[in-house]
Structure 1
């Protein structure tokens, strides 16, 4: 009994029974005999442990490699049992998922990283995005793309190289943000005729994002060096996809592709003509595209996805899928529309002519921009847009060495209110001083400009008024000095 008391005292008071069993069953060196743990029982109604030592037992030999292999073979040979739903709630959720898959024509897509959902839709080129058919897309050349996005290095690209892409994410970046829905569109074939093939990849749960990335990389074939056509893709879509691919131990490379970012084109063509250059604004102005009722706004997309994950109700995710598909179709339609505008395949009048002139001027094609500004000047009613067309056309005439053609246009701008009025007065003063050699007329123009500065600009923009006043006083002093010398001779 004395030999067992130290062992009893060493047993932790809060130890679990299983802990002691585990310690006792460990083999020690070559020992084959071990003592099981102390059997603490009630004996004879007297409270206290029994201190009788238990009988000696033989420990089971440790499992060897052959035993483990046999166990693995038995496990692998078992037939998988169908998983049963644990509750009516899970059964209802599964029915909702199947219903969404059927209604949206999604099918499972198996990849090395698992499965995601995929949807493919084919649009003939006669299909209209808003009022714009997709047909001009097939004839887009690299030269046309370079006119729309100067400096994009797409001169040798073809229409088949364009890869339209848009993603939906749970955030703007950082930890926890995933790309749960990706849409691509590319020219392909349908029954032997050219068509636009739209693909969407959906992660029905966050772990499926890896399969979405795998499916996207497999279908896109980045080694063919496509031209990535996006809306702010250089700043968001491309780095986001590359980052998510890296998280899943994949190498993507969307950022190093040739970038055809239509946000740059929209800003060059529509800045100041629309409340903003968001895609939702530009597609209405350029395509007349109206989104369907119930279509979700971009800012609400993460909330819809989280609600879908929580409830598995397909009504939360359906508007997001429609929004994503329409964004990609809008990119394709916008490319077709703007390509037709800058190449002259689409007749441009009014604001469209002004947009075409802006894009061609930004691309360094003044000889093609001038007729566009002239058409806008003829078609537009008196407005800020018409003033801009006149000022831009006058600047092109001046650059071409024809200030005489620019003079009446500068007068059109100078005689109407607008932000270009003072600039027009300065240009007229330069023309009369240096080209027409009419110093008296130049002095009158400078005086009229100073009067406008004192009456209007001093109240609304004191700092700007000071700058203009300084420049005009300097120019007026020089003109008057020349007049004095002319009179003295």
Structure 2
């Protein structure tokens, strides 16, 4: 059965380009009303005939869609189409296609032998009867979003009744076969695993796919910035999108079971809208993440975002950009704690690159901060003076100062970590004292006890 949208498209094809609104066209061979009016009236008549006798609560009226016949029976789906210039938050949907897909693959730690384009990718989200992945939990709404020429299409498969699950999974599998990769939010750990379970129970094969899960990179960027890393929080705080006519996902199971009882589909419209919003958010969130990777110094607005970006670039062996992100934090008008954290991370960055003198300058600068920031820099300076400068006295002084700081902390915090730290510092102090003793003995011409004097002859 063709959907109303498909039939409307066929009517539009019959209308000659530009055949609208002029008197000459409206008063042609088709009478006073013209071709457009006749086709529109025919369409409306067909719509009225189709819904005649159906209550407003019927699924076909509340959420018009298509019944597809499959080898396993019928299944129900609907397509929601958006022009790619449609804004979702700060960005139009078309903007994501301008982003190199390889950027998203890097942050999601996914390697693919094939060169992928956005036409090879679908955006995937589901609504389920619960949060478990066991056999008693199933998916009643599958949403797949994908680019199709100048439109972005969201196809939503709806499980009208449990008997249609095999048909739905078959049709979904055919559609998934068009794509080589999938973008989701926690889909790798939940949605896809549940789909695998349902396919196994239905004795159907689910082909593996390249999975780009946005949740782990989102946590790296915003875990310490936002109250939580839920998708709806990200779209509000990061993308600037506010939902309208949306039913929270937590209510989805209850509303679906109520639908199974009385078949009133009107209560499901908000769930369908919620699923569409989730998929559109995946699209623009993908772009926003990619933009932060491509232009970190301009796109990142919070120190924690720059810290996360800096760690990525460090992992990718792009030290210059990693360092630039940390320097940018020191230039931001944020709290002193963020500046000190940036200086600390910069010092460790210099240490890894064997720039010990630059690292030591930053450690000395950190000693002027609060007591909690003085312990670690003193330990690193003690190592620097012991192993690089060979100034054992300075190293010993720093170690004893650190011991005093940690012992004061022990009065407040009694933990195994503090005890272990005290043991390490005590061991370092004793070693430095032995080195100073040997050094002093050597200067005075004395031979340390563990050495044998060297003599010539008898």
TM range (shorter): 0.7 to 0.9
Q: 2:419 aligned to 462, 466, 477, which one?
A: 466
CA distance in 2, matches of 1:461, 1:332: 48
Specify the alignment match of 2:134 in structure 1. 174
CA distance in 1, matches of 2:335, 2:78: 49
Specify the alignment match of 1:149 in structure 2. 108
- Could you list the per-position Cα deviations for residues 4-24 of structure 1 after superposition, in whole angstroms to 9, with x for gaps in the alignment? xxxxxxxxxxxxxxxxxxxxx
Specify the alignment match of 2:156 in structure 1. 200
Specify the alignment match of 1:404 in structure 2. 357
- How far the C-alpha of 1:260 sits from its partner, in A, is 1.1
**CA gap 1:151/1:430 in 2 versus in 1, 3 angstroms:** farther
- How far the C-alpha of 1:270 sits from its partner, in A, is 3.1
Is the aligned partner of 1:163 residue 2:117? no
- Could you list the per-position Cα deviations for residues 247-276 of structure 1 after superposition, in whole angstroms to 9, with x for gaps in the alignment? 3332122xx211211122123333444444
Specify the alignment match of 1:109 in structure 2. 68
Is the aligned partner of 1:269 residue 2:221? yes
Between Structure 1 and Structure 2, how many residues are aligned?
389
- How far the C-alpha of 1:450 sits from its partner, in A, is 2.1
- Could you list the per-position Cα deviations for residues 38-75 of structure 1 after superposition, in whole angstroms to 9, with x for gaps in the alignment? xxxxxxxxxxxxxxxxxxxxxxxxxxxxxxxxxxxxxx
- Could you list the per-position Cα deviations for residues 320-346 of structure 1 after superposition, in whole angstroms to 9, with x for gaps in the alignment? 222222222222222111111111285
Q: 2:287 aligned to 326, 332, 336, which one?
A: 336
Specify the alignment match of 2:447 in structure 1. none
Is the aligned partner of 1:314 residue 2:265? yes
Unpaired segments ≥5 residues, structure 2: 1-50, 444-458
Specify the alignment match of 1:239 in structure 2. 193
- How far the C-alpha of 1:181 sits from its partner, in A, is 0.3
- How far the C-alpha of 1:469 sits from its partner, in A, is 0.8
- RMSD of aligned residue pairs (Cα, Å): 3.1
Mean alpha-carbon deviation: is it higher for 366-375 or for 419-428?
419-428
Secondary structure, aligned partner of 1:434:
helix
Query: What TM-score do you get using the length of structure 2 for normalisation?
Result: 0.75
CA distance in 2, matches of 1:147, 1:313: 45
The answer to whether the 8 Å contact 2:134/2:197 transfers is no
CA distance in 2, matches of 1:447, 1:370: 32
Secondary structure, aligned partner of 2:271:
helix
Is the aligned partner of 1:426 residue 2:426? no
Secondary structure, aligned partner of 1:447:
helix
CA distance in 2, matches of 1:258, 1:481: 59
- Could you list the per-position Cα deviations for residues 287-327 of structure 1 after superposition, in whole angstroms to 9, with x for gaps in the alignment? 2344447531x333212211222233334322222222222
Specify the alignment match of 2:231 in structure 1. 279
**CA gap 1:354/1:283 in 2 versus in 1, 3 angstroms:** farther
Unpaired segments ≥5 residues, structure 1: 1-90
CA distance in 1, matches of 2:137, 2:258: 16
Is the aligned partner of 1:209 residue 2:165? yes
CA distance in 1, matches of 2:438, 2:287: 60
- How far the C-alpha of 1:468 sits from its partner, in A, is 1.0
CA distance in 1, matches of 2:229, 2:340: 21
CA distance in 1, matches of 2:163, 2:313: 46
CA distance in 2, matches of 1:96, 1:102: 6
**CA gap 1:179/1:464 in 2 versus in 1, 3 angstroms:** same
Specify the alignment match of 1:221 in structure 2. 177
CA distance in 2, matches of 1:128, 1:355: 27
- Could you list the per-position Cα deviations for residues 222-263 of structure 1 after superposition, in whole angstroms to 9, with x for gaps in the alignment? 5x5x1121122222222211222233332122xx21121112
**CA gap 1:365/1:267 in 2 versus in 1, 3 angstroms:** farther
**CA gap 1:279/1:458 in 2 versus in 1, 3 angstroms:** farther
**CA gap 1:149/1:304 in 2 versus in 1, 3 angstroms:** same
CA distance in 2, matches of 1:475, 1:259: 48
Secondary structure, aligned partner of 2:255:
helix
Mean alpha-carbon deviation: is it higher for 163-172 or for 444-453?
444-453
**CA gap 1:103/1:198 in 2 versus in 1, 3 angstroms:** same
Match runs of 1:340-419 below 5 Å? 340-344=291-295, 347-351=299-303, 352-382=305-335, 384-411=337-364, 413=366, 415-416=368-369
The answer to whether the 8 Å contact 1:458/1:465 transfers is no
The answer to whether the 8 Å contact 1:354/1:373 transfers is yes
Mean alpha-carbon deviation: is it higher for 141-150 or for 420-429?
420-429
